[in-house]
Amino acid sequence: MSLTRDPDLVGARARIAAGATTASACLAASFEAAAQPALGPAYLRRFDAQARTAAAAVDGQYAAGAPLPPLAGLAVSVKDLFDVAGWPTTAASKVLAGAEPAASDSPVVARLRAAGAALTGHTNLSEFAFSGVGINPHHGTPPNAATAKLDPTPRIPGGSTSGGAVTVAGGAAWAALGSDTGGSIRIPAALQGLVGFKNTQRLTPLEASVPLSTTLDTACAITRSVRDAVLLHEVLAARRVHLAGKPLAALRLALPQTLMLDALEPAVAAAFEAALRALRDAGARIEPVALSELAELAAINAGGGFSAAESWAWHRQLIEAEGERYDPRVALRIRRGAAMSAADYIELGQARRRWIGRVEAALAGFDAALSPTVPMVAPALAPLVDDDEAFFACNARLLRNPSAVNFLDGCALSLPCQAPGALPVGLMVWGPALADDAVLGASLEIERRLAETEH
């Protein structure tokens, strides 16, 4: 299958470096894309003047002989969880609509700005980042920009980084800063044919952002290619990625048999199997592993998990005073945390540490693991808007695979693996904590192989 999409950020940067275009010209094209009706309510607020100033500054400095910065004055959107100086941070909620403008950038935003990004605006999301579906009853739901090109059915964008993914898929941004607590970067990336990399949590700072779960939240990005993911991770984590350069024939990849292959939609199963065949044909060693520990997750998190407990601690006074202004589906999940005792919370942390130890032992010796990112293609939006049962069932299915990596304190990358002209399907390459460089290196080889084979 061909994975060629619009040029990626690295490619655009190379054109600017060669004098074939300018940052300001690229930004104008991004603004033109952002104005298209297909992007809908992807942005909650735009930073157009600031973005133009940033792009013009890069052009002027580069013309004067200064080095071109890593992000080269190119458009990057910001999820409305992260503080951007001069703008309110509202988490796409009515409850925070009156928030004061931030006095300074959050650390990850500051790193993007220092790397030469033209920050284009705060993007829409599931309120307070609750849900992998991406529906927002307050500001509207951004339409899935990728599936809109393939069929007329309005489909969910995936969440919670819904607007961010739409800006990238729709051409309004080259990358999107977002967060991943249970799959909120990888789910929309999978459903919109993009790349989403969730790094090990501790590698990127979370200060000056609205939390969902302080234990699981990860600041990370959606991009158009794996090489873009490497670049954005280097910027956000302020570290160099060291790639081993292993070819596929030198990779040993685990294929977990528990949970992650259950109840796959036919389109997902076919795309995933085709990807595995292409990798095996290139010499990759793909070995089934039971990883029965994955079956324990539902019981371990039966009380609502870290997200319920930690969001209740943050929202308790606010939701008691203004609960009627919350999305009812979000309020329901937050209130689950009220039933968790301190002892329950401590036991949850202990159970997690034991579970991580066993999973890391089972994956020892592998370069990475492979799974479908989610078991479905993007479902139609309309049936999920008013039907709570259908919504929560869909949300649980979307979160099932990616959330296991968050509980592992691991890292994972979703990249597209569907056939040309088919609805997007994500392939997840993942591993334990601090295996980021191995996962990125394997993902580069996998992306290259899938692009060559057009399976």
Write the DSSP assignment of 16-68 as a string of letters.
Answer: HHTTSS-HHHHHHHHHHHHTSGGGGGGEEEE-HHHHHHHHHHHHHHHHTTPPP
Q: What is the mean pLDDT of residues 158-181?
A: 98
Instruction: Give me the pLDDT at residue 92, please.
Output: 98
Residue 382 has pLDDT above 80, yes or no: yes
Domain membership flag for residue 324: no
Is 131 labeled as catalytic in the residue annotation? no
Non-local (6+) Cβ contacts of 287 within 8 A are: 252, 253, 254, 255, 366
Q: How far apart are CA 85 and CA 91, in angstroms?
A: 15
User: Would 49 be classed as within a structural domain?
Assistant: yes
Query: Does residue 336 lie in a domain region?
Result: no
The yes-or-no verdict on residue 4 having pLDDT over 80 is: no
Structural domains counted in the chain: 1
Query: Rounded to a whole number, what is the distance in angstroms from the first to the last CA of the chain?
Result: 4
* Mean pLDDT (whole number) for 325-330: 97
Return the pLDDT at 5: 40
Looking up residue 185, the CATH number of its domain turns out to be 3.90.1300.10
Q: In what order do the strands lie in the sheet with 43-46?
A: 43-46, 118-123, 75-79, 175-179, 219-223, 195-198, 411-416, 426-431, 368-372, 252-256, 285-289
In a domain, 161, yes or no: yes
Residue 455: pLDDT over 80: no
* Per annotation, catalytic residue among 184, 213, 371, 403: 184
pLDDT at 1 over 60: no
**Annotated catalytic, 2?**
no
E strand map for 224-367: 252-256, 285-289
pLDDT over 50 at 135, yes or no: yes
Q: Is 292 annotated as catalytic?
A: no
Region 334-349: what's the mean pLDDT? 97
How many percent of the chain have pLDDT more than 90? 97
Asked if residue 124 is part of any domain, the answer here is: yes
328 part of a folded domain: no
pLDDT at 452: 94
Residue in this structure with the two tokens 């997007």, named with its chain if needed: 424
Taking 90 as the threshold, does the pLDDT of residue 38 lie above it?
Answer: no
| Among 77, 446, 10, CA closest to 230 | 10
Tell me the C-alpha distance between 377 and 22, whole Å: 37
Average model confidence (pLDDT) across the chain:
97
pLDDT at 6: 57
Catalytic residue among 24, 30, 77, 79: 79
Q: Are 96 and 90 in contact (CB under 8 A)?
A: yes
- Average of per-residue pLDDT across 262-286: 98
Q: What is the pTM of this model?
A: 0.97
Position 327 in a domain: no
Let me know if residue 231 belongs to a domain.
Answer: yes
Question: What is the domain range of residue 409?
Answer: 9-293+355-453
- Give 143's pLDDT tier (boundaries 50, 70, 90): very high
Which entry of 30, 126, 160, 311 is annotated as an active-site residue? 160
Averaged pLDDT for residues 296-316: 97
